Amino acid sequence: MTSTFDNDNYATVAAYYKKQQQEAFARNREVIFVALQARGARKVFVTYDAGLDSSGIRDRKVEPEAVSLSGAVTVLVAGWDQAAPESRAQSLQNAIEEMAMQIVAFDHDGWEINEGAGGSVTFDVAERKIVLEHSENIIARRKYTHSY
């Protein structure tokens, strides 16, 4: 794939990149679940929030608590100017956190802007399911006009 962008090929490059992202996501999802199952994890909870120019992961918990997220896994990383996703070794904890933030961005891109948002991403190993619970922070404004 070419890294030259113009109006004529942007849609093609974007579609190709999205396809690569989806393929990498599917593989990485399986890699993470296999690694968690091998360690005896039942669930992993990643909580995140943003607001007042600060955003990111706030906490992560594993059930059972004795399970360690140490050790490396090999994940795929898709890039705009890559012909194919590249393999990268990283810690299991980082792989989980990156996938959690990727999932948030799928449906809530820009979640950290303005008042921000927060939520949790739960990796359910037995069900092989990832659940996103997301809440947006909204500042309400009420205007009152009184004449006497």
Asked if residue 109 belongs to a domain, the reply is yes
Asked if residue 148 belongs to a domain, the reply is no
Asked if residue 1 belongs to a domain, the reply is no
Domain that holds residue 22: 10-136
Backbone region of residue 47 per phi and psi (left: phi > 0; alpha: psi in -120 to 50; beta: other values): beta
**Per-residue tokens: 19:** 């396809």
pLDDT score of 7: 62
Q: How many separate domains does the chain show?
A: 1
Asked if residue 5 belongs to a domain, the reply is no
- Grouped pLDDT means (10 residues each) for the chain, 148 residues: 61 88 96 98 96 82 96 93 90 97 90 86 98 90 86
Q: Which string of DSSP letters, residue by residue, matches 48-99?
A: EEEETTEEEEEEEEEESTT----SEEEEEE--TT-SSPEEEEEEHHHHHHHH
Asked if residue 4 belongs to a domain, the reply is no
- Going from the C-alpha of 145 to that of each of 51, 135, 139, 141, the distances in angstroms are 30, 32, 20, 13
Asked if residue 99 belongs to a domain, the reply is yes
Asked if residue 145 belongs to a domain, the reply is no
pLDDT score of 92: 98
Question: Given the structure tokens 């997220």, which residue do they identify?
Answer: 69
pTM to 2 decimal places: 0.84
Q: How many CB atoms lie within 10 A of CB 84?
A: 12
Asked if residue 71 belongs to a domain, the reply is yes
pLDDT score of 4: 52
Question: Given the structure tokens 């059972």, which residue do they identify?
Answer: 64
